[in-house]
Amino acid sequence: MPLSKVPKNPQKVWEALQAGNERLVSGNAISVNTESRLRARLTRGQDPRVIVLACSDSRAPIEHVFNIGFGDAFVIRTAGHILDNAVLASLDYALENLNANLLVVMGHQSCGAVGAASAFLNGEINLPTGLQRPIIEKVAASALQAKRQGRETRPDFERENTAQTVSQIIADVPAARRLLDAGTLGVVGLRYLLEDSSVETVVRHGVD
């Protein structure tokens, strides 16, 4: 089902996303929102049901992961789904203007940014000195938090990086907290598994 046909309700949108991923995993993905008539209608504006912040990794394409199509998702992607001012501003814009009912942060299995941060913490590599340095620093902070709690594996670091991103968005983007409290927004942190295309729930707020 196209997300445009899903009721504007956080739980319903979350259930529709889960159903789309289940279709992918089972090999029953359908063609969604690809017809030319829809694309022409989208020239007049957008009405996405979900906002997604995800890692840029080519192996985790959002529309395929959830079997959704044109106009269904407002997507922001950065390496390691790290947050900076541009990403926070993009999230703020989307939450204030697009009336989406779900915000998803999606990390994934075998994340290169998490792998590099883990290698740095283990003394295997030095921090980059160029533009990539903030990525490793921010992801390493999440990995250190997991280590403090006795969680030492790369999957642990991937989950913690997603959880920390969710927490920071709720804390730093005023619209996220306001819409959550109003019951019009759900926020979910996920980890995508490359091995079978399923998604693992890490944290959720405002949805079951």
Confidence bin at 143 (pLDDT 50/70/90): very high
Q: Are 187 and 206 in contact (CB under 8 A)?
A: yes
Q: Are 190 and 104 in contact (CB under 8 A)?
A: yes
**Neighbour order of strands in the sheet with 73-78:** 73-78, 50-55, 102-108, 186-192, 199-205
Distance between CA atoms of residues 107 and 57, nearest Å: 9
**Better-predicted residue by pLDDT, 206 or 40:** 206
Phi and psi, residue 104, nearest 5°: -115, 130
> What is the average pLDDT score of the chain?
95
Spatial CA neighbour of 183 closest among 102, 126, 97, 66: 102
Confidence bin at 39 (pLDDT 50/70/90): confident
**First-last CA distance in the chain:** 20
pLDDT at 42: 84
Confidence bin at 1 (pLDDT 50/70/90): low
- And the tokens for 98? 């697009």
Give residue-wise pLDDT tens across range 57-105: 999 999 999 999 999 999 999 999 999 999 999 999 999 999 999 999 9
Give residue-wise pLDDT tens across range 159-179: 999 999 999 999 999 999 999
**Better-predicted residue by pLDDT, 168 or 36:** 168
Phi and psi, residue 152, nearest 5°: -115, -5
Give residue-wise pLDDT tens across range 12-21: 999 999 999 9
CA dist 116 → 87, 121, 176, 202 (Å): 21, 9, 30, 21
pLDDT at 40: 84
Distance between CA atoms of residues 129 and 189, nearest Å: 30
